[in-house]
């Protein structure tokens, strides 16, 4: 496993360091974590790593394309190691839970804009907003009553 991560780092000419390996391992097991969670996960393995070191690793890996930074409106930035497939996310308005939504397996139809205005498009940012199953279960009893009260 670790050697996979080493190979990934070498493939983009990044030096193999323990914090970089720890971040990649954490993202494999915990997709869509925010920076604070990432720091806690890395420190569980490497207690002496500083916040700044984790920030630096996240930036280096994002710049190299090994990880992807996503930031749904109004939410803190999250990171994931599933990159380059232009998949989208469904986000719960209530608790912030995030799940992956495939663009289309093997394709990225959203990248073919109906009119690209001459731009070279490399990412289509699509966020589906809604209520996750847990929150929907919690809320359903008062759903009809509360929906009337909103502006
Ligand atoms: Zn939720
Ligand atoms: Zn994702
Ligand atoms: Zn799509």
- Closest ligand to C-alpha of residue 91 is 1
Polymer length in residues for the chain: 151
Distance 96 CA to ligand 1 centre (A): 6
List the pLDDT tens digit at each of the 151 positions of the chain.
557 999 999 999 999 999 999 999 999 999 999 999 999 999 999 999 999 999 999 999 999 999 999 998 888 899 999 998 889 999 999 999 999 998 876 677 888 888 888 998 888 888 999 999 999 998 766 554 444 444 4
Strand partners of residue 34: 78
Strand partners of residue 113: none
Distance 141 CA to ligand 2 centre (A): 31
Q: Cα(6)–Cα(24) distance, rounded to whole angstroms?
A: 10
- Closest ligand to C-alpha of residue 112 is 3
Distance 132 CA to ligand 1 centre (A): 4
Distance 99 CA to ligand 2 centre (A): 6
Q: What is the CA radius of gyration of the chain?
A: 18
- Closest ligand to C-alpha of residue 83 is 2
- Closest ligand to C-alpha of residue 102 is 3
Return the pLDDT at 17.
Answer: 96
pTM: 0.79
């Amino acid at each position: 496993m670790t050697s996979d991560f080493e190979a990934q780092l070498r493939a983009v000419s990044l030096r193999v360091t323990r914090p970089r390996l720890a971040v990649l391992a954490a993202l494999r097991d915990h997709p869509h974590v925010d920076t604070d969670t990432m720091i806690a996960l890395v420190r569980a393995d490497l207690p002496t790593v500083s916040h700044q070191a984790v920030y630096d690793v996240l930036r280096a890996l994002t710049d190299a394309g090994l990880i992807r930074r996503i930031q749904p409106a109004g939410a803190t930035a999250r990171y994931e190691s599933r990159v380059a497939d232009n998949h989208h996310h469904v986000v719960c308005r209530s608790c912030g839970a995030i799940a992956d939504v495939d663009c289309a397996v093997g394709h990225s139809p959203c990248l073919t804009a109906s009119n690209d205005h001459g731009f070279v498009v490399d990412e289509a940012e699509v966020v589906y907003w809604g209520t996750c199953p847990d929150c929907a279960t919690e809320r359903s009893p008062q759903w009809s009553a509360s929906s009337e009260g909103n502006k």
